Amino acid sequence: MRPPILNIVVLISGSGSNLQAIIDAIAANQLHANIKAVISNRPGVKGLERAQAVNIPTLTLDHKQFESRETFDRQLLQEIDQYKPDLIILAGFMRILTDEFVNHFNGKMLNIHPSLLPKFRGLNTHQRALDAGVKQHGVTVHFVSNELDGGAPVLQAVIDVNENDSVESLQQRIHQQEHIIYPMVIEWAAQQRLEIINQQVYLDKQPLENPAKWINNQLIN
């Protein structure tokens, strides 16, 4: 049976490569979602062009035009609410969200972060992973909470760190994994396989004590 269509709004700040992966997954009928709008806090970014190329409504809310983080978030909240999305997808959205915003959309926001959370929250994750000498690195899809990069994790793609890896090579390999696992998790939501209750993630009605893993193109739950 075809799963119901999941209505989503995607928030971006830059090139929108994860947005493109979502668009491509929908076009390939691998993701049963409808992108109601793409909203950027930066004007003129490539992600807006990606959305416009396939006739997805776009909106630019330049955060520099707002007097405070709170006023920006309130306007963003109002814009998103117009679309009544089932899920809000943060795809390279480089803003720390206020508690008011996060609480309003509690349990309805997903983010993707380029590390194996809880390791390396924040920025410059690939350089920090190399500096720390970790043997494995990766990317995490997680629900958004009031704690920066601290929301409940759902799925992590794991890669081995090679001796000759650089920030650029790690970033490239991580991007490849991002473009696989983000549409996958959104499809779990579309199939009503994924839910979060009191910060506990459930997949197929079973609590995820640890995030599911995507390793060597295999799902390990």
Backbone torsions φ then ψ of 206, nearest 5 degrees: -105, 135
Q: How far apart are CA 23 and CA 53, in angstroms?
A: 11
Q: Cis link prior to 118 (omega < 30° from 0)?
A: yes
Antiparallel, parallel or unpaired: β 206-207 and 200-203: antiparallel
CA nearest neighbour of 89 among 124, 152, 41, 141: 141
Q: Angle, to 10 degrees, between the axis of helix 17-27 and the axis of helix 46-53?
A: 10
Give the number of other CB atoms < 10 A from CB of residue 69.
Answer: 15
Q: How far apart are CA 149 and CA 26, in angstroms?
A: 27
Choose the catalytic residue: 63, 113, 126, 179.
113
Whether 126 is catalytic is: no
Q: ∠174-176-177 over CA atoms, to 5°?
A: 65
Give the number of other CB atoms < 10 A from CB of residue 82.
Answer: 11
Active site residues: 113
